Amino acid sequence: MSLPLWVPLVTQHDFDQDSFTATAADGVHVTFADKQRRLCAKSGLWNANLGFGNSFIAAAVAEELKRASYLSLFRTAHERAIEAAGALLGLSGNTFSKVLFSTSGSAANDAVMKLARQFCVLNGQPERKLIVGLKGSYHGLTYGSQALSGDELGQAVYGVDARNVRHIGFDTTQELDNLMRREGHRIAAIVVEPVLGSGAEVVPEDFLQALRRHRQEHGFLLVADEVATGFGRVSSWFVSDEWVESPDIIVTSKGLTNGTAACAALLIAHRITDVFDATESVFVHGETQAGTPSTCAAVLATISEMERLDFQRLNKEVADGLDRLLADLKDVRGIGGTTGRGCMRGVKLHTDNGSPLSANGTLAVVRRIHQAGAIVQPGPGRIQLLPSLTYTEDNFRELHVAIVHGLTEARADGVFA
């Protein structure tokens, strides 16, 4: 019988139902319909930072569902949303003024684009409509966020409107400087992932310094898209906490609820909210499931658990474990250099003639590692490793065995030829 579910991001006719249909998840393992219990090395979609099935978070969500199964944020508020917003503002030392809840990183980035453009209109600068992203970046698959994404994601096929979007490289500041000379007066916002979600490439400090200099000169909003990097994935609550100057907006999602709810949030600076207050303006954005009581209970419980477990200590221990794993893998045939930092790493793959492995080849490697007992994330010419902060030494040994075995099987298939 044909599978009734349309599985995203794969062809449907050859979907391996038994191997890729999950039946349960606990700790750092996922059980599938083929009865195999596989080690997850990407924390779900790098959102279950504390592992699957955290009982404290589950209990908080269950209790809130009984107390208030649903409350909207359309022209109203509720206690848990106010409490969760306050807790999020407190994570960055109350640098920000307000929190706007969303349901996903994609939808939140759509909201960012709208908010930046309206902010410019309210400031008497309606010509500022350009939103700038980085080449190779990933911000989502809704129409706005897909346009903002710097990856090739079929934007032309879907008729995504990118006329008011630009993309620049970040290895040097040359493209940024050229864009500012040419169109600095038209830019509403520049959106940056501190570590790119697709490929785990780290944005260098000199590029960030140039961004801050241009923001001072041209007045655009600087947005830190920390959907992937926040909540202990790379360092502290947010990587942008390390920046010399704060961004105007932080976008957070994924680890925000430990993967238990459809949730994202924008942390918005006083610079923006003051303009909306002064002009008595309404931001026309809302989502039915954004900031529901159970979602906000999950946010509060996740923050509490991360503090109780000392997530920064866990982050360092897992980052050290990744360092050791990558050192052990560096001489394995087919593996090149590595990218990323903290608990967000990329392992480059190359063919026997030294060229980067193709997208299809990378997917074949990921499938072979899956069959060998571990779940890793494909990236551009690499696999990505984003383990839970609760990983142990035994888990890293298990991951090492699965990766080596998967690469060996892929080589036997001729993937690296």
pLDDT of residue 167: 98
pLDDT at 93 over 90: no
Q: Give how many domains the chain has, as a whole number.
A: 2
CA distances from 59 to 23, 54, 302, 378 (A): 21, 9, 11, 33
Residues 325, 407, single domain; the answer is yes
Q: What global pTM score does this model have?
A: 0.96
Tell me: pLDDT of 349 over 80.
Answer: yes
CB 153, CB 165: distance < 8 Å: no
Residues 221, 19: Cα–Cα separation, whole Å? 45
Residue-wise pLDDT for 209-232, tens only, equals 999 999 999 999 999 999 999 999
Regarding whether 339 and 218 lie in a shared domain, the answer is no
> Which residues are CB-contacts of 183 (< 8 A; sequence separation ≥ 6)?
130, 166
Residue 236 and residue 255 in one domain: yes
Q: Using CA atoms, how far apart are residues 334 and 224, in angstroms rounded to an integer?
A: 34
For residue 391, count other CB atoms closer than 10 A to its CB: 25
Query: Is there a single domain that holds both residue 225 and residue 360?
Result: no
Q: Measured in whole angstroms, how far is the alpha carbon of residue 94 from the centre of its chain? A: 23
Q: Is 238 inside a domain boundary?
A: yes
pLDDT confidence of residue 92: 87
Rama region for 392: left / alpha / beta (φ>0; ψ in -120 to 50; rest): beta
- Please indicate, yes or no, whether residues 391 and 292 belong to a single structural domain of this protein: no
pLDDT digits (tens, 9 = 90+) for 56-92: 999 999 999 999 999 999 999 999 999 999 999 999 8
Query: Per residue in 266-324, pLDDT tens?
Result: 999 999 999 999 999 999 999 999 999 999 999 999 999 999 999 999 999 999 999 99
Is pLDDT of 132 > 80? yes
pLDDT surpasses 70 at 1 = no
Close Cβ partners of 380 (under 8 Å, ≥ 6 residues apart): 136, 151, 198, 199, 356, 359, 362
Residue 353 included in any domain: yes
Q: Are residues 274 and 201 in the same domain?
A: yes
Q: Does residue 36 fall inside a structural domain?
A: no
Q: What is the mean pLDDT of residues 203-208?
A: 97
Cα–chain-centroid distance for residue 209?
Answer: 23
Last residue of a domain, one of 308, 323, 340: 308
- Looking at 281, 308, 335, the residue that finishes a domain is 308
CA 300 to chain centre: 20
Does residue 106 share a domain with residue 214? yes
- Do 159 and 223 belong to one domain? yes
Q: Supply the range of the domain harboring residue 294.
A: 55-308
Residues 231, 146 share a domain: yes
- Contact between 20 and 222 under an 8 Å Cβ cutoff? The reply is no
Q: Which of 280, 308, 336 is the last residue of a domain?
A: 308
- Does residue 255 lie within any of the structural domains? yes
- 70 and 218 in a single domain? The answer is yes
Q: What CATH number should be reported for the domain holding residue 341?
A: 3.90.1150.10
170 lies in some domain: yes
Verify that 289 and 347 share a domain, yes or no. Answer: no
Task: For residues 225 and 97, state if they share a domain.
Answer: yes
The CATH number that applies at residue 270 is 3.40.640.10
**CA 113 vs CA 11, 187, 244, 342, 404: distances in Å:** 31, 11, 24, 29, 43
